[in-house]
A and B are shown apart, each in its own frame.
Chain A
Amino acid sequence: MGTDIFKNEPNLVKIPEPVVVVGDIHGQYYDLVHMLNKAGDPQKLNYLFMGDYVDRGIFGLECMMLLITIKINFPKKFVLLRGNHESRNMTESFTFREEVITRFDNQVYDLFMELFDALPIACVVDDKYLAMHGGISPELNLIEEINSVNRF
């Protein structure tokens, strides 16, 4: 269900203000819960997460489960971008692959990788600000070019 929502989003998503912009979570589930309680109800606020939800911390699975569940509830108000850790390469080198395989199996890991492949890569906030995880390519000249990237 979650993967299908992301697959239907463009590479460059748009979100209006007011918005809560959130940086790396890195498997810190209790910090994520605390932040959501502090910042406000996702039903009433827009949220923009800029990637790196997994690896390093030991609750990457919980972080992903909660973020995807909120995304399913509020698909337009809750934006999840892809960070460099939402990839096979990084999750193999860091901790998320082992976390998922230890607690579940390879099939679940592959499903997460399919979901990561479907995450959008950048966001325009209120037609004013450009947000993404890691910076702008020197080959990028026009913002519209982001949508021409084949992220699948």
Chain B
Amino acid sequence: MEYLPDPVNDRPLKDLPPFVNKAIDDSLLFPRNSEGAEIPDWRLLEEFMSKEGPLSK
């Protein structure tokens, strides 16, 4: 997951995790299991959406 960057280090609430600002990569979201099937990683998706990660079609 790519978090919202802080290039000039001016986030006022640094103890809070930043938002995710880019859509999640398919290779991360759909890892291949031992049988070769691409089953979505629900824990990753849960965390991604909890951080307001943008959903794409």
Contact = CB atoms under 8 A, between A and B. Distances in A.
Interface of A: 29-30, 33, 36, 42, 59, 61-62, 65-66, 69-70, 72-73, 103-105, 108
Interface residues of B, number: 9
Given A59-B49, A69-B45, A73-B42, 10 more contacts: A29-B49, A30-B50, A36-B46, A65-B49, A66-B42, A66-B45, A72-B40, A103-B55, A104-B57, A105-B57
Contacts of A104: 57
Given A61-B55, A108-B57, A73 B40 contact: yes
Per DSSP, are chain A's interface residues mostly helix, strand or loop, or mixed? helix
Nearest to A107: B57
Given A65-B55, A108-B57, A33 B39 contact: no
A12 B41 CA distance: 28
Interface of B: 39-40, 42, 45-46, 49-50, 55, 57
B39 A73 contact: yes
B50 to A, nearest CB: 6
A65 B53 CA distance: 13
Nearest to B54: A103
Nearest to B29: A69
A105 B57 CA distance: 9
